[in-house]
Amino acid sequence: MRVSVLIDGGHLRVLARQAGHAYKPDYIDKVAQACVAPDERLVRIFYYDCAPYIGKAKLPVSGKDFEFNGSDAWLRKLAARDLFAVRRGVLKFRGFKPKKIPISAATLTDADFSPDFEQKGVDMRIGLDIANHAATRSVDRIILLSGDTDCLPAMKHARISGLQIVLATMPNHKVAPELLWHSDFERRVAWPAS
């Protein structure tokens, strides 16, 4: 059975860090490979994520300039791996948010705030690739590692078109019931050794 693995990078990153794993291309590849059953033939791994935000902002209390800088080298390394296709969204800076609520205005410092980022375009790219698989029948089964219910319309479309949807779930994580309702199987995937 031909399969593609689709990984929501933002989702996997949070789960991997909570489980104490370093989030690097080698480990992402191990997780993707662990999602595939022995009787399945892997056609491609689609990885969806955003490069780190680069830009300037004013800190919320002091008003000092702060520069965000990061590197997308890890995404380029991932894209260069065999069978990987990296789909990039855009990370938008939405300002700063308090780390704790309620806040006490008398003692606020910049350290009481963290940057607030929002991924844009990742869910749409996942949906488009699911729909493309359904239209081209390039695989028999899609293995989806995501916790985002925005994927539901694409999942329904793929199933109506005759593809099977496997929802890959990681240890100690509860998924939205709607994702289980609109998949054919849940596949519990153990964390690979780091």
Chain segment 113-134, per-residue pLDDT in tens: 988 888 887 888 999 999 999 9
Residue 79 counted as domain residue = yes
Residue 193 counted as domain residue = no
Chain segment 129-140, per-residue pLDDT in tens: 999 999 999 999
CA distance 169 to 114: 29
Range of the domain at 159: 2-51+70-91+120-188
E strand segments, 11-146: 41-50, 55-58, 65-68, 84-98, 113-120, 141-145
Interior/surface letters 121-147, b for 16+ CB within 10 angstroms, e for the rest? ebbebbbebbeebbeeeebbbbbbbbb
Residue 103 counted as domain residue = no
Half-sphere exposure in the Cβ direction for 55 (13 Å, CA)? 14
- pLDDT of res. 119: 81
Chain segment 50-94, per-residue pLDDT in tens: 988 888 998 988 899 999 998 899 999 999 999 999 999 888 888
Can you give the C-alpha Rg of the chain in angstroms? 19
User: Could you give the number of structural domains in the chain?
Assistant: 1
Residue 80 counted as domain residue = yes
Q: What tokens does 176 get? A: 């939205």
- CATH number of the domain to which 171 belongs: 3.40.50.1010
